[in-house]
Structure 1
Amino acid sequence: MRYEGVLRKMQSEMGQPIQYYMIFNNDFINVNQVLDKELEFNFIKYQCLNCNEDNPIFRQGFCQSCFFETPAAGDWIMRPELSMAHLNKEDRNLEYEKKVQLQPHIVYLANSSNVKVGVTRKSQVPTRWIDQGAHEAIEIVEVPNRYLAGITEVALKEHVNDKTNWRKMLTNTIEDADLVQWRNKLSKYIPEEAKDYFIESNQETHMEFPVLKYPEKVKSLNLGKTGEFKGILKGIKGQYLIFGDNTVFNVRGNEGLYVSLEVS
């Protein structure tokens, strides 16, 4: 079976285990169904997710000029505390920024390699947790805009990590944590503006990933440099494909690469 198109982050669906899909131009593949099969990737060209031109990808699937122009890559994406739409102030495109920023956001704790704090739109729960390879997660606050979520995250990351160790996540060298206890312990550090939005009665959500075999150590694949890769798929976790030779491929990290994919 042959597929061709630009790489975008895999879509996912909660299940036991989670179901993953790669979406191409006129087709899609349920990646769970090709576990234990050989996949062959070939890099054909670049295709910026914004302008669709064959320009080298700079960051987040965008070429360099689009990265610094598109509202979808504003600084507030990575740093929610910089959001200004609630003040009616524009960064790059106020209409876009209002649409994204002025909606319910969740500040959460997730455990993928260690307990970390993060921010996501409410509509992206549990997708965001799945994308991070978290095996358990819990909401701390639900606020009406991205700015409040951002300042809450800034306050909490003084007391808990805000980064995932992706190597530990992929080798599954993880420990369970009592996230209810963590949530309650961190509640006193929530900023005054967000205290009324604290969630105190929910429980952890658990995720099960489709992995037949975890790697002992990981080798990261850069398809833009190697041009091609062939391997037996052994698992999917976060946005990574895990292969039998310990190679891991970050699909989201390679957004904007136009590829062919052969399944045999």
Structure 2
Amino acid sequence: MGEPIAEALRLLDLFASVGAVAFDITHTNLQQEKRGFRPAQSLAQARQSMPYLVPSAARRQNNLIIRPRAGADVTLVQLDDLAPDALARIAPAAFLILRTSPKGQQAWVAVTNAPRGLATRLKEGTGADKEASGATRVAGTANFKPAYAPNFPRVRIDAAQPGHRVTTQILDAMGVLAPAGPVPVSLPPVASSSGSRTSKWPSYARCLEGAPIGDGGNPKRTSADFIWCKIALSWGHGIEATAERLLEESAKAREKG
């Protein structure tokens, strides 16, 4: 079995070792446009697919992206765009450190019985990208972006601790959690005779127009993604449906995987 395929299988097994029970598989092209989607693949299905998907992605210059879905007792937290000192601090708690580009690394932490808001606190405490989507490029495959042409970097596993889970108490003792915010007041559900309040989706273009301007003079797409998701959820769309739709709307979300 070739090294790229073996690395892809190793990534799947690492996620499964900490409680991932299914994987959404997405394909995007060089322009980060969605080209394929397989939802809720079991570990066995995903492993069976990799010997075909990995070489196919290379031939087509497609990015191969997975979104791991965890069981009820574990929360998988993706910490992307970490500064070197933050990565060093969180490394003992991470079951996976993945390199997606020459200068880009992300850590994944599996937290047992995490309370609500834990992922946000961990991202804030480590300075990670707050809008990271929870999906990632597959190890062993190339990161196809125009900026990297013609020498596209290969995604690789830098460090791994199979089966390594941590608790909130451990993370708190490590000093990597931001202070807990006030507990939100739960509002009674709004009665509806039709289930979801609307079948429409927010306008991504409007969210982009209203986003703050970044250093390069362009609207911040991560902020637009965040605003768009908040509106979609408030309109009654489910979390998974919103995440999948965002991949269609936002090039930034597709880049993050």
Question: Which of structures 1 and 2 has the bigger CA Rg?
Answer: 1
Larger strand share, 1 or 2: 1
Q: Which has the higher contact order (CA 8 A, sep 6+)?
A: 1
Q: TM-score, normalised by structure 2?
A: 0.24
Larger helix share, 1 or 2: 2
Q: TM-score, normalised by structure 1?
A: 0.24
